[in-house]
Chains A and B, each alone.
Chain A
Amino acid sequence: MTKRVLLIGTTMGLVSGEKLDQEKAIYVTLESFQQSGYETILLTENREVFPDFHTLAQHVIFQDINLTNLKSIIIQYQIDFIFPTYAANNKLNIFKNLIKQGFLEKNHVKLLVLNQKNLNLMISHKALTNYLQNKGFRLIEHEIINKFDEAMAFVQQHHFPIIIRVNNKEQKTYWNSINTKEELIHLFQTTKASEGYEVERSINTFKEITMTTVRDRFDNKALIYASEDIDPIGIHSNDSISVTPVYSITNRLFQRIRDAVLKLTRLLKIVGICTFHLAVDEKTDSFYVLEISPLFQSKILPIIASTGYPLFEVICQISLGCRLQNVLTLDGSIINAAVELTPNHLTGRFPIWQSPQLVDLNNNLGPHKSSLGAVIVNGNNLETVIMKGFKILNLSDDIFINHPDAKLSDEQIESLLFHTSIRRIIAVCEALNRGFDVQEIQSFTKYNLVFLETLKHLLDLARLLEYKKGDLDTLLLSKRYGFTDFLIAKLWNLTTAQVTKITSQLSLNRLFLPTPSSYSLDHGAVLNYYSSFLDDPFIKEPNYQIIINNYPNSDMISNHEMTILAHQLIHRFQSDGYSVAAQGNLLSKIDSHALGDFYVDSSYNKSYLFSPQNRLNIAINTIENQHINYPVSIYNLKYQQQLLQNHQITTEIIFIQDNQQRLWLSLPITNVLKKLSSQHFEMTAIPSKLKTGLVKRISDYVHSNYQNTKFGTIIISDNDQWQWLDGFTINVGIVSQVNPNFIDVLCHCLVGIATPKSQKSKHLFGRKINLKQLANGLYTTKVKYFDLPTTYRQELK
């Protein structure tokens, strides 16, 4: 009998980025379970789930994740395993109670990944500290006190600052950082601790390092991820810029920490993934374990962006008892997942805030998470990583051009340096510009010293650029360290085109480098590319096959549907073995880390998109772009026309979102199709809310502009009406409004273009589609696919 797995899904209240991270993970996990022959039942609190969940999971249950519901689901669906990895931390008590009440044992249900021991440690800070102490780990000095005098005695021994938590059953409490006696008095006056105060020596000068291990049931284990935060301990790890691999501690200390986390993974009997947050004190070469989590954390997603490590498949497979060296990936191949990170590039993770105008964000950063998501960038030096991060987050102008803190006095700057606010990075740059010593700034901010030195290097370069306008040597240096033509143009008061012209005189070449790691080098699974300027006369074009890009300068802060669409497209293409890249600030602004397994690099040259290596270009656009006037479709057809001027483009597909949050698609207008006019391509669409006037305008436009071409257009409107435009033999569909099946069908169509191996495409191939069924969520038919010649396909592969 097929075993049934209950997968715990997302909870309500997650920010968009987190939710997408979790859902992406669940998506792959569901596929992986399905591939391994398990039936899956998904329990989730969010109704807006990926449409594919309905086909991947046998049942999708929308209910609150609580003890009662869990019990009834286990009985109703005769669950064999529970897979809790994507559950929220605050749900851990449910699993603890299930074990404690003997419910799991009674019903012969096995809880994967978690066990009584690691659950206790995750839930109780006290249990964790006791456990670590028993195992010989170093602990931060702490005490439980009840009176102010006892707190002062602790301070005399360990000095300010200290960290205090008020233990009170009635209300949830957090750690408070206390810097002065007055603050301590105030805390005691304003709080009442029924269970005492937990006081701890502050370690806010220590570095924070995150490490992730995987372990199988045969005790094979590997450290698959390690990153270092720019901010010191005390600021939520997701709110800090972090860089992987760890670069500013000695190899000796790094290996000691590695030994410790692997030892803990083993002691806790983790079979799956485990993430550790550690505080590292360089002065004494010591480290402290702060937090252990056997659940998935989006913080570690750079591992996928950086190396293409099949994280979710690995978690799923090893929790089912597979050996780490025999993990079955979704494409059916068996890989060795026991690898450790050895990248030839750096990967940076930059938090996204509620507004790109950091100067206005005086919010205090602390142990509570404030960021909305993160951007992931790759580069071959720290400078480039920082520049890319700043650019995507729109910080470059403030940091290098506007200098918003220039009017402040030195004292005010110092005050801002002390204050752990979101905007502090702007003040740090201003301080560096004013000639503050790096060590001095470090003593104020506790920022990573190497990061500060690198930042100073970038600011010095910007000043040098301003001073030496037109100097080629300075230009060469700045390009190497990630300065964009756009920024240089602003510093030189020139146009970007003028700077680009000057840049072309340099010996530097923009290279698109793959991001292989120990994983991808061995398996050839290079998923991502990053751009870099190097003095290498032998330019090798990357073999991008699919580029997802948004329209330049477009701006869309939050659009769940659009992100899901991009995400699904990317995932589907990657599942079929394609290299996928994403470009543009739209994707990165929304939830780039949710789209973590592809690379977001907004700085590469638009002209690159015209290169013959691009097999398929997909543009995602939005009406919010100020440069675009309605009707957007017409505008984008103009854009397409520009693309057509280059004879190498294979296909261009454009998604557009209008001001009513509706999504439009037009496709494909391509000159390759012209050459392959005997081939047929037909695109399925969901008819909905398509204005007849717009249809007419588009059709007129296409007709007038492309009448000499040999491809055709089909336009599907609300009433299942379609029109053939004379003289066209290839069909172009226009699709509006995302609905559950739209993405699915669309992906199949697109995947079907390039790869016949997609199982779902096979089912759909050659069958006629019933649009009404399609609209109702029952797609049973499909149209013909544009089929590439065999030789062409081989070349693609």
Chain B
Amino acid sequence: MKRYLILEDGTVFCGDSVGSTTISTGELVVTNNIGGLEQTITDQTYNDQIIVFVSPLISTIGMNRDDYESIALSCKGVIFNSIPINQMDESNPKSLAHFLKKRRLPGITNVNIQRLAAHVKKHGAMKASIMDADDEHAIDQIRALVIPHDRVKTVSTKQPYPNPNVGFKIAVIDLGLKFSILRQLSIRKCDSIILPYNISAEDILELDPDAVLFTSGPGDPREIPETIATCQQLEGKLPIFGIGLGHLVVALANGAEIEQMSYGHHGSNIPTLEIATENIEFSNHNHNYTVAHTNVAQINFFITYRCVEDNTIEGLRHRSDPTMTVQFQPEAAPGTHDTLYIFDEFIEMINSFKQGNQL
């Protein structure tokens, strides 16, 4: 069945339907991930987005439940370069087609991905719809549609829940939590408690955690002022670690400015330079916003990482408080394990903070 991807600016791409045949609209993002399809689709930071996979043969071995990053899907659709024939069989319970159908996620394959990727790169991120027909009304509908401004609210947990272990107690503020963050904390024996995005600083302090982690998540951080306020109140009192959207939240809480990127960073092996060592690491990125260079010098942070390709700020560290952030996703999933050590640095920071308090 032929289906159409219609972009906000009227550009049309067509291909073959895969998965659900529902109509869907979202923000279009192009990712260069060459593996880890399950991890990408189930990543909550892709909330309300239609994900374009540039790489062909992204899944030949079927969907692996162990690699899911969340239970519920919140992306709006998937566009593929091509799908291997063994993954198009809806009757096979491990196939991609079966997964998409079951999860009611619409997809299109055999699309001219190169033109699509080049278009997004040239014209920037935009809204798009997966539809059955290429008619005039479709574009009007897309233009009229407003991407929700409460994406974090949608994906964040409504109730706190624990992920028990025997180590440090970490208050994980769920802005769009990936399971891999919990996996990394569990590997380091952290006793995590996952909290909703709008929890107050008092409630957090009442739990007496050893540190706070603001997770990655979708959308614009300015849409969650309550989280920014919480962060402001916690700073200096507890070690803070911000990842992805959490990084932007921490930056905003400290007076930094943020700006929207033209088409963002979406990919699992984007080279990032650690400024202290001048070493290049490859990390998983998914963000359309970044901390602006304009007033970074004025705030109390120094830059720890930057993107090799476009000099985007990718990491910050407070000059005096135990606060560190990274814009990329150090937990990988998908992507390289180059930056997993950042979780060790986080634990080290908690240790130092605790030792400092004891003195």
Contact = CB atoms under 8 A, between A and B. Distances in A.
A753 interface: no
Contacts of B81: 344-345, 380-381
Contacts of B61: 248-250, 450
B278 A344 contact: no
A146 to B, nearest CB: 43
A342 B269 contact: yes
A344 B32 CA distance: 8
A454 B85 contact: yes
Interface stretch (B21-29, B113-121, B141-149, B241-249): B113-121
Interface string B76-87: 000001101110
A536 interface: yes
A252 B67 contact: yes
Contacts of B35: 246, 250-251, 254
A442 to B, nearest CB: 12
A344 B309 contact: no
Given A342-B34, A345-B56, A534-B112, A325 B273 contact: yes
B167 to A, nearest CB: 24
Nearest to B36: A251
Contacts of B114: 344, 513-514, 516
B279 interface: yes
Contact of B85 (A259, A346, A453): A453
Interface in B294-314: 308-309
A522 B309 contact: yes
Contacts of B56: 344-346, 380-382
A220 B279 contact: yes
Contact of B279 (A218, A252, A341): A218
Contacts of B14: 535-537
A346 B54 contact: no
Nearest to A517: B32
A255 B282 contact: no
Question: Which range holds the interface residue count of chain B?
Answer: 35 or more
Contact of B337 (A222, A255, A340, A341): A255
B336 A536 contact: no
B13 A536 contact: yes
B280 A338 contact: yes
Contact of A251 (B39, B110, B117, B279): B39
B55 A344 contact: yes
A324 B280 contact: yes
B332 interface: yes
Contact of A338 (B60, B308, B336): B308
A776 B111 CA distance: 56
A514 B114 CA distance: 8
A572 interface: no
A245 B280 contact: no
Contacts of B332: 255
B240 to A, nearest CB: 28
Contact of B32 (A258, A324, A342, A457): A342
Interface in B243-261: none
B57 interface: yes
Contacts of B335: 255
B110 A245 contact: no
A684 B12 CA distance: 51
A518 B15 contact: no
A538 interface: yes
Contacts of A513: 112, 114
A480 interface: yes
A155 interface: no
A454 B60 CA distance: 11
Question: Counting chain A CB atoms within 10 Å of each CB, which of B33, B121, B267, B280 scores highest?
Answer: B280
A457 B60 contact: no
A247 interface: yes
Given A251-B35, A342-B32, A344-B117, A536 B57 contact: no
B55 A457 contact: no
A338 B281 CA distance: 9
Contacts of B33: 342
Nearest to A540: B115
Contacts of A324: 280
Given A338-B280, A342-B269, A450-B60, A251 B54 contact: no
Interface string A363-387: 0000000000000000011110000
A718 interface: no
A218 B308 contact: no
Contacts of B209: none
B85 A250 contact: no
A256 B332 CA distance: 12
A380 B34 CA distance: 13
A494 B15 CA distance: 29
Interface in A730-763: none
B334 interface: yes
Interface string B162-187: 00000000000000000000000000
A342 B67 contact: no
A535 B280 contact: no
Interface string A520-531: 011000000000
Contacts of B336: 255, 258-259, 340
Interface in A469-501: 480
A380 B115 CA distance: 13
Given A247-B57, A250-B64, A252-B67, A511 B112 contact: yes
B220 to A, nearest CB: 26
A323 B282 CA distance: 16
A700 interface: no
B67 A250 contact: yes
Question: Counting chain A CB atoms within 10 Å of each CB, which of B33, B35, B113 scores highest?
Answer: B35
A219 interface: yes
A537 B4 CA distance: 12
A345 B114 CA distance: 10
A219 B279 contact: yes
A511 B13 CA distance: 14
Nearest to B119: A538
Given A338-B280, A454-B84, A248 B60 contact: yes
B271 interface: yes
Nearest to A535: B14
A188 B333 CA distance: 51
Contact of A534 (B110, B117, B273): B110
A382 B84 contact: yes
A336 interface: yes
A339 interface: yes
A-B CB proximity, top 7 nearest: A251-B35, A251-B36, A381-B82, A536-B112, A342-B32, A247-B57, A340-B269
